[in-house]
Amino acid sequence: MANVQTFFMCFMVVVTVVLPATAQLSAEFYDKVCPDALPAIRSVVEQAIQNEPRMGASLLRLHFHDCFVNGCDGSDLLDDTATFKGEKTAKPNLNSLRGFDVVDQIKAAVNSACNGNVVSCADILAIAARDSVSILGGPSNQVLLGRRDARNASFNDANIDIPAPFFNFSNLLSNFQNHGLDLKDLIVLSGAHTIGLARCTNFRARIYNDTDIDPEFAASLQKVCPITGGGNKTAPLDATTTIFDTVYYQGLLHSKGLLHSDQELFKGNSRESDDLVRYYSYNPDAFMADFGASMIKMGNLEPLTGTNGEIRMNCRKVN
Ligand code: HEM
Ligand SMILES: *[C@@H]1O[C@H](CO)[C@@H](O)[C@H](O)[C@H]1NC(C)=O
Ligand SMILES: *[C@@H]1O[C@H](CO)[C@@H](O)[C@H](O)[C@H]1NC(C)=O
Ligand SMILES: *[C@@H]1O[C@H](CO)[C@@H](O)[C@H](O)[C@H]1NC(C)=O
Ligand SMILES: *[C@@H]1O[C@H](CO)[C@@H](O)[C@H](O)[C@H]1NC(C)=O
């Protein structure tokens, strides 16, 4: 037994040296080992969105919240354990992240299609995000693969690393820059709010206190979201909440951003940020192309590759 442990320790040291953290993801990663993996995932995502159109938004957000907390390693899918408090109950995620059951269904379908456990939960999130966007009318961009799954998760890091809806513009930009993303990525990836919903608790201060909001828009939201209570009541993030389009940006031009953070991107002046919002509002082709590119950048955040991490059997638990 002691020999086995010694062997493993030597092995791990060698691996750390041989495989640097810069190992690259690739579009073809599963082509040989399981050519049916991507179609199997897409078909579960299609079914889930057919059952509930919002699910596409929820799956896209799962990938974002994974990548922004210690890289795209499937950490936001882990339940709490005796050795770590996970990310699911952190402030940005509690009563908010959803789609965990669909991820379980995808995992089962892909393991069956592959006759084994070969596709990581982190890659499942990246593929499901891409498929969701594409099914709802957005770009069918390439997705880079080969991520492996984390063996732990961090409640604290989830609280620190995910941007909050009360952030101002400089908070948002610094947060993205801390993740190696730039102003254009911030504007483009925020366009994900072209789909999905937010809870009253996250837009209450905006609709009662902000001044850069269309008054009729604020009044209609106040009917859904009372000044106290009703924190879980939801409203759409843009006017076409199940279509991946540029209506989100058009809303910002008219002071109809739902979140304070959304409207921070457009203040009606000549900042670079305002110019980008205007540009995407009338240029859907540019938005689709740039969204695909920024998703690749986000998906490249600190992946575990090679023999680091593991391929989790159950996305909710370490092996
Ligand atoms: C720029 C900073 C961002 C902030 C402050 C932010 C904040 C939020 C908040 C507060 C919600 C509503 C959650 C709730 O009320 O339960 C939300 C929803 C959502 N966010 Fe973001 N977000 C940001 C960027 C992003 C990015 C980069 C993506 C993906 C690329 C994304 C995708 C989504 C989606 C799709 C939803 C709707 C989810 C659903 O309906 O289940 N967000 N976001
Ligand atoms: C868990 O993750 C943290 C980073 O969030 C890392 O510092 C720590 O070493 C990890 N612990 C284990 C047991 O892997
Ligand atoms: C943004 O918020 C931070 C606090 O988080 C504050 O220090 C800063 O002054 C604010 N920036 C602007 C431009 O309002
Ligand atoms: C509006 O702002 C005031 C003063 O900062 C604050 O006391 C109040 O709670 C805010 N209202 C909402 C609904 O956030
Ligand atoms: C929102 O719903 C969750 C359960 O889904 C509940 O635990 C929580 O108390 C609710 N929050 C509010 C503000 O109503």
Convert the pLDDT of each residue in 65-92 to its tens digit. 999 999 999 999 999 999 999 999 999 9
Q: Please give the distance, rounded to the nearest whole angstrom, from the Cα atom of residue 152 to the centre of ligand 2.
A: 6
Q: Does the structure show a pLDDT above 50 at 217?
A: yes
Quote the pLDDT of residue 23.
63
Identity of the residue numbered 279: Y
Domain ranges of the chain: 16-163, 169-292
Quote the pLDDT of residue 7.
41
Share of the chain above pLDDT 70, in %: 93
> CA-to-CA distance for 104 and 44, rounded, in angstroms?
10
Per-chain mean pLDDT for the chain: 94
Fold entry, domain 16-163? Peroxidase; domain 1 (1.10.520)
Q: For 157-180, how does the pLDDT look when each residue is reduced to its tens digit (9 = 90+)?
A: 999 999 999 999 999 999 999 999
Residue nearest to atom 4 of ligand 2 (CA): 154
**Closest-lying ligand 4 atom to the alpha carbon of residue 227:** 13
Q: For 274-295, how does the pLDDT look when each residue is reduced to its tens digit (9 = 90+)?
A: 999 999 999 999 999 999 999 9
Known binding residues for heme b: 193
State mean pLDDT over 95-110.
98
Max intra-chain CA distance, the chain: 73
Question: Packing angle between helix 272-281 and helix 183-190, nearest 10 degrees?
Answer: 40
Quote the pLDDT of residue 5.
45
> CA-to-CA distance for 280 and 217, rounded, in angstroms?
22
Active site residue 260: no
**Cα separation values, 240 from 54, 77, 213, Å:** 11, 28, 19
Q: In angstroms, how far is CA 227 from the centroid of its own chain?
A: 29
Q: What is the pTM of this model?
A: 0.93
Active-site annotation holder among 65, 179, 254, 260: 65
Quote the pLDDT of residue 262.
98
Q: Please give the distance, rounded to the nearest whole angstrom, from the Cα atom of residue 119 to the centre of ligand 2.
A: 23
Mutate to test the pocket of ligand 2, among 152, 157, 159, 302 (most ligand atoms within 8 A of CB): 152
Quote the pLDDT of residue 108.
98
Fold entry, domain 169-292? Peroxidase; domain 2 (1.10.420)
DSSP one-letter code for 199: E
| 6 Cβ closer than 6 Å to some ligand 3 atom | no
Same-fold call for 16-163 versus 169-292: no
